[in-house]
Structure 1
Amino acid sequence: MSDLPFSSDSVGTTNRASATEDENVSVGALNDHAPLWRYVTKLEKMGKGGGNISFRCNFCMNVYKGTYCRVKSHLLKIKKGGIASCSRVTNANISKMQKVVEEAELRVKESLPRQVPLPNTSSHNKTIGSSSSAYYGLDSSLACLDPKKRKGMCGPLEKAFNIGAREQLDGEIARMFYTGGLSFHFARNPHYVRAFKNAFPGYVPPGYNVLRTTLLQKEKSNIEHLLEPVKGTWKKKGVTICNDRWSDSQRRPLINIMAVCESGLMFLNAINYEGEQKDKFFISNLLIDAIRDIGPEKVVQVVTDNAPVYKAAGLLVESRFQHIFWTPCVVHTFNLALKSICSPSPHPRYDDIMEECGWIAKVSSEVFSIKKFIVNHSMRLAMFNDHSKLKLLSVADTRFASTIVMLKRFKQIKHGLEHMVISERWDVYKEDDVEKARAVKEKILDEYFWTDIDYILNFTAPIYKMLRMADTDTPCLHLIYEWWDSMIEKVKIPIFRKERKQHNDSSRFFDVVHGILVERWTKNSTPLHCLAHSLNLRYYSEQWLEEASGRVAPHQDLEVLIL
């Protein structure tokens, strides 16, 4: 796919960039509903609504207007698509693009909620069959669906009470409670009972006690049975144990234990560590218990975040099981790198970072202050809503790349903010802090403010892109090493362009950013990353080695050999 002309997804850009095959697959996963947009350059949106957009084909360089359907018809030469076929697309190009479309459609299909069979019941297989979408009417004529097996399969009780249909309906209602997070107390609502009685005379829906005991145990046993084939692949494929912390709606601290393999992710356990001392011994014991439950011979690695206590716990696990690796979360590592760049810590140890990156923290602080002022004043918020269809995000600090997410949204709503502050209503309204409103207006109309935001988004884009690529269900351990290497070079380009420097010149700002990234990579890299990198045949090919100067095959890379 490297010979196909790719382009950025950003509206208004005309730059075309080629991407590696592995990166294209990961980036494509972010827009699987319209994968062929990457082969055209978006120019401008047509009108306020709808999906019409002006675009330039990266093959024939002609400009057209329309939706994604027209893009697809143009590139794949689909007749009666309301657009001319591309004259520069070859049959080989069409084959590759069709493969991209098929892979995207497959990923979309696999991401859809799966139909999980209901628990087997005493008469479920006899009266309902395997379909969980069967009709729930309690008419006795539906008691036996298979006329060939009617004899001996449906007794007098089944015919009279339609037990199979009742049990399946109980199972569907129970699953509605479990998957929707509904409180069991909802089953005591008189309207809940009355609704089903009116719909199905004689039927009483499952109550509070049945939902939390009998039906819950049946559902648990059913899920465990359905997961047995997945567990059967663990010994052959190997398992990664993942660990994460979170808090529930009652603010109870929980630790999740999950198992990940080629067949997918499986939730194992959630431990409430309220009142416990969460030290390295406590965490390592949780991980060791999970390893023993799965089987030490099946486990390849344990993945946690980068907190010191987790690193210490990971080392204890490695000392107990010599063949198991502790690996810090790559996505968390990228997030920490962005946090160090965008929000440097005011500590003497980081004086050089604060000196070079302090302006980024100032810009992000101004952005959050503007957002806070608008959101906290109802009239200002109403003015904003009148001028922008997009909403101001409330980004939690715990979200990955929270600063970048907020800056990206501010760039998207720039015109709405400008129209808001230059409107007559903004100056006429005097009920809130007038001085603060004037300061907000001056900042929004300051072009240097928006130039700084653009610069931050430009040089952090490679880091944010890698974070998004790694934060998916697609296996990427074999790509991490190369991603880090190429990402650092991509970060350098916009910095040197901004400072108008040649590639061989020195930049104090880039040196600081480079130091942060290298430090994070040093803490994050493990022998598994290097092993997976060295086993990827793509990195031995002449095509990859010739794509950039200085590239060497993994067996000639000193860093790989040392690790």
Structure 2
Amino acid sequence: MLKRFLLLKDSLVRIVISDKWTAYREDDQQKARFVRDKLLDADWWYQVKYIVGFTEPIYSMLRAADIGKPCLHLIYEMWDSMIDKVKSIIFSREGLGLHDTSLFFNTIDDILQQCWLKSSTPLHCLAHSLNPRYYCQQCLNEVPGRIPPHEYGEISEERNTCFKKFFPIADDLRNIKKQFADYSLNRGVFANPDAIEDSAHFDPLQWWGTYGARTPELKELAFKLLGQPASSSCCERNWSTYGFIHSLRRNKLTPERAEDLVYVHNNLRLLSRSTNDYLTGPSKMWDVGADEHETFDGINVLQGARI
């Protein structure tokens, strides 16, 4: 809503300074005066811009985690980057250095940390550890002080917790730990210069498909986690479609018939994207953004859909 205010700022200001605003004032002068004072107050607009500024990284991170694409291995880095961006914006507004203390940021950080503790799982740390990009020197040099995942205490503890659950047999657990040690330290089969160089440029699944043949257990685990979405929203959308088609109030379809209708409904939606009508007319791009990552800057795309 606040972002929308900023996009329509000029139009809103023109409304309250127009002659027609006087006619509206007669209905409720107190409310009209309050709205006019706020819209013409430069400090109020500055505060709105500030709120939108430090909440945008949080919104973007939530949207990125809510898509149906594989991103479980990106969550840990996205979270750290989001905290750094929020801190930078707040400290810049308050005129503080990065090593100073901000009571407002501490309050925001406490709220965010509580949310992280509720939603994070050891799988986030394990998936983060199996992304080869986070071990290449190019990635480490992007942020001052960044270290590879196997040197983080929290990540190492959570990763080992996952290993124990996935491999309850002692010999299997010891074997997977040895494979991970070679992978994280660029030793053995992972000491190949091409493997080290390509870790910065390949998609994680492509990299494991190319260089993980000698460590089949670790490769299989990487394939499972690196192809995993971070949210169940994509499944919930399918359940919503099922609920739209079949409910006790609407009809008494058998489960088999309802599943067939859901299957047909989803495939018709996909087929509609290949038609000319999908790109023109009042229903243009009607399903745009259904499972994609949109930031604040992508709001205007939805206007063409007339949803």
TM-score by length of 1: 0.28
More helix by percentage: 2
CA radius of gyration, larger in: 1
More strand by percentage: 1
